[in-house]
Amino acid sequence: MINFETAPERYKHWRLQLDGPIATLSLDVQEDATLAEGYKLKLNSYDLGVDIELADAIQRLRFEHPEVRAVIIKSQRPRIFCAGANIYMLGTSAHAFKVNFCKFTNETRCAIEDASAHSGQRYIAALNGTASGGGYELAIACDEIYLVDDGNSAVSLPEVPLLGVLPGTGGLTRLVDKRKVRRDRADVFSTLAEGLKAKRAKEWGLIDDYFPTSKFEDGIATRVQQLIEQSAPQQSARGIELHPLQVEATDEGREYRYVSLKLHRAGRYADLTVRAPEADLATTPAEIERLGDAYWPLQAYRELDDALLHLRINELEIGLVCLRTAGEIEHVLTVDRTLAAHRDHWFVREIILNMARVLRRLDLTAKSFFALIEPGSCFAGNLLELALSADRTYMLNSPDEKVELATSELNAGALPMSNGLMRLQSRFLAEPERVNEVLAHKGRFDTDAAEAAGLVTFAPDDLDWADEVRVAIEERTSLSPDALTGMEASLRFAGPETMDTKIYGRLTAWQNWIFQRPNATGPQGALTNYGKPTQPQFDYKRT
């Protein structure tokens, strides 16, 4: 079982150093410290364990070190920055693991871009050696890229010519959408296994600049100092510590303080419940900072994130997740009012941004999601976003029991999807006026009002509820998981296209497909034959 929890003192592959407003993340992959057997992490290549540490470091820099304005990513190894995802790891991994590995890796890249866009932490890729494949993809997730000009080091995306697959974590999309490299040049670059060295790489826009070996460290230091001088004033506040999550894990599920995951393996579905905060709630930034990572919206969403990652990687046969909530609606709304009132405070801002990232993780998870709204539920404000994320929403219509929904300020754009829209906007593309109507609604929505507003899919009564939910679960889990993954990924992101939706849409569809094709992973496929004396044999029919 893979655990996504770690901390700097347990890192095996990364070293985090802090110097006032400057943080340095140094990559020194330990060849034998792998998550599985059968491969070695040579040339600073990485597996999921390396990326779990990077994701943790990015998160900690935002919460524990808000004073940091510039983050340098470099290698501890001479003449090699990063060789990308380990090929032998990919070649020996199951298909589902490969795809989920690529997805998590790209979510980590997006976290870098999110930190730059919203937290004022600019990332600099200091390529002191060759960066290929995922190594170069890590670089293009950064704000600026600088390559050493030593006559040998290069940048490359060699997956197409060497492996018969794609740069699996968004490399091609970032190349043309983010760095705006000309299409014809991107075509040449992506078919050159050896890549491009400093001068041509800069001419084509693949890097921002280069320095000779003797001036490389000084050149990076000068540029970092310029970025700090141009940045917003340094945060005077001290960060908060992110403590390990407390979880009781059994074969039947996982129990956190605010989140419960109950697995129904025989039925291939799970219940995922998020509980509302208790009555004693912080209302000022000082009180929130004193609570630190125990403050409900941070702790609950960290727990939800861990549960989602566990489901993705460790529970492959769970195809449907039933989203539930429990607790007092007013407690959730009180938290949202506090967050909205103090969103300019650095810690509150980071909490909201983290909530948004976790919700996007849910959107991008290849499981079906049904929201079940019953007596005692608290789908309100930020937790209403769970219901709006679901593929379907069922709300009990009972004359004898109170079942309600509610909106808050956070439903009005604070928690955007990958397409840049709020979930209400994505829901009502054909009727945009409904968004304002829902947000302007006074008080709570009972079942009839929620159904009239278009907030629920079905509203069974007491007599039909149990049977209708049971049949819906049984029907969903009987369908092809491959077809459902493609269907859900196509339906969840209606509206405008963004770089993120392109990356994840292509990852879900193209990479999912290419990873199963014989040209890549068959007995004579390029990925299978990599590093062997045998050559790949392609079926040259184009489909």
Point out the domain boundary residue: 433, 454, 485. 485
The answer to whether residues 218 and 322 belong to one domain is no
Please count the structural domains in the chain: 2
Structure tokens at 355: 């909530």
pLDDT exceeds cutoff 90 at 299: yes
pLDDT of residue 413: 96
Q: Is 532 a domain residue?
A: no
Q: What is the 3-state secondary structure (H, E, C) of 135-201?
A: HHHHHHHCCEEEEEECCCCEEECCHHHHHCCCCCCCHHHHHHHHCCCCHHHHHHHCCCCCCEEHHHH
pLDDT of residue 506: 83
The answer to whether residues 266 and 225 belong to one domain is no
The answer to whether residues 341 and 196 belong to one domain is no
Q: Is 491 a domain residue?
A: no
Phi, psi of 156 (to 5 degrees): -160, 155
pLDDT of residue 150: 96
Residue from 535, 530, 538 nearest 83 by CA: 530
* 410-424: pLDDT as tens digits: 999 999 999 999 999
pLDDT of residue 91: 87
In percent, how much of the chain has pLDDT > 90? 89
Q: Is 338 a domain residue?
A: yes
pLDDT exceeds cutoff 70 at 304: yes
Q: Is 168 a domain residue?
A: yes
Q: Is 264 a domain residue?
A: yes
Per the CB < 8 A criterion, the answer to whether 531 and 92 are in contact is no
pLDDT of residue 513: 84
pLDDT of residue 252: 96
Per the CB < 8 A criterion, the answer to whether 100 and 312 are in contact is yes
pLDDT band at 237 (very low <50, low <70, confident <90, very high): confident
Boundaries of domain holding 440 = 248-485
The answer to whether residues 148 and 255 belong to one domain is no
pLDDT of residue 234: 64
What number of CA atoms fall less than 13 Å from residue 265's CA on the CB side?
A: 8
The answer to whether residues 286 and 166 belong to one domain is no
The answer to whether residues 332 and 371 belong to one domain is yes
The answer to whether residues 203 and 266 belong to one domain is no
pTM greater than 0.85 (yes/no): yes
* 359-383: pLDDT as tens digits: 999 999 999 999 999 999 999 999 9
Residue 218 CB neighbour total at 10 angstroms? 10
Out of 57-66, 459-468, 476-485, 499-508, which region has the weakest mean confidence (pLDDT)?
A: 499-508
The answer to whether residues 215 and 331 belong to one domain is no
pLDDT of residue 231: 83
Residue 481 CB neighbour total at 10 angstroms? 17
Point out the domain boundary residue: 230, 256, 291. 230
CATH number of domain containing 302: 3.90.226.10
The answer to whether residues 225 and 255 belong to one domain is no
pLDDT of residue 235: 63
Dihedral, CA of residue 317, residue 297, residue 67 and residue 138, to nearest 10: 20
Out of 316-320, 429-433, 466-470, 535-539, which region has the weakest mean confidence (pLDDT)?
A: 535-539
Q: Is 89 a domain residue?
A: yes
* 172-187: pLDDT as tens digits: 999 999 999 999 999 9
Per the CB < 8 A criterion, the answer to whether 485 and 96 are in contact is no
The answer to whether residues 12 and 109 belong to one domain is yes
Q: What is the rounded average pLDDT for all residues in the chain?
A: 95
Query: Going by DSSP bridges, is the β-strand pair 368-373/320-326 parallel, antiparallel, or unpaired?
Result: parallel
The answer to whether residues 439 and 303 belong to one domain is yes
pLDDT band at 531 (very low <50, low <70, confident <90, very high): confident
Q: Is 239 a domain residue?
A: no
The answer to whether residues 41 and 189 belong to one domain is yes
